[in-house]
Amino acid sequence: MDLRLFGKIKKLPEDIHNVLPNLECLMLKHSNLKHDPMPLLEKLHSLMILNLGTRFYSGKNLFCSAHGFRRLEILKLDDKDELEEWQVEERAMPRLRGLSIPKDSSLRIPERFRSTPPPTECDFEREWFDSL
């Protein structure tokens, strides 16, 4: 249900949703993925907390399609240096209630998420975000 990956990953499995069907919390850090991970991660139908840490992705843009991330409630994006734009189609992330982006980030985010508050400490009851 919880998975934390630290270190380089060549690519995520195309069938990640079949490999990890019950995954609720995921952290990627120092993965240096070459391709946008969102099209695969958004298929994880049980995912509620996603922490994309330092150097999780070497690209500039993230894209989330309509109907993606149906249960996602908390998103933490720590990578402030590389990311430039985050595109999210209209019906994606309908349950998002907590969004954390570095204050000095130049990442362009969709207008509808600009007022989404950062997650509170109680959102991290499992304390695995804060323990690292």
What are the pLDDT digits (tens) for 30-64? 999 999 999 999 999 999 999 999 999 999 999 99
Query: Which range is least confidently modeled, 28-37, 48-57, 70-79, 115-124?
Result: 115-124
CB 74, CB 48: distance < 8 Å: yes
Mean pLDDT, rounded, of the chain: 89
Of the candidates 55, 2, 54, 4, the residue with the CA atom closest to the CA atom of residue 27: 4
How does DSSP classify residue 26? E
Residues composing the chain: 132
pLDDT-derived band at 106 (thresholds 50, 70, 90) equals confident
Spatial distance between the Cα atoms of 82 and 74, rounded to a whole number of angstroms: 21
The answer, yes or no, to whether residue 132 has pLDDT greater than 50, is no
| Domain range summary for the chain, segments of one domain joined by + | 2-124
Please report the pLDDT score of residue 103 as a whole number. 84
Q: pTM here?
A: 0.89
What is the residue-wise DSSP string for 7-23? S--S---TTHHHHSTT-
Q: 89 is written with which tokens? A: 């189609």
**pLDDT tens track for 3-17:** 999 999 999 999 999
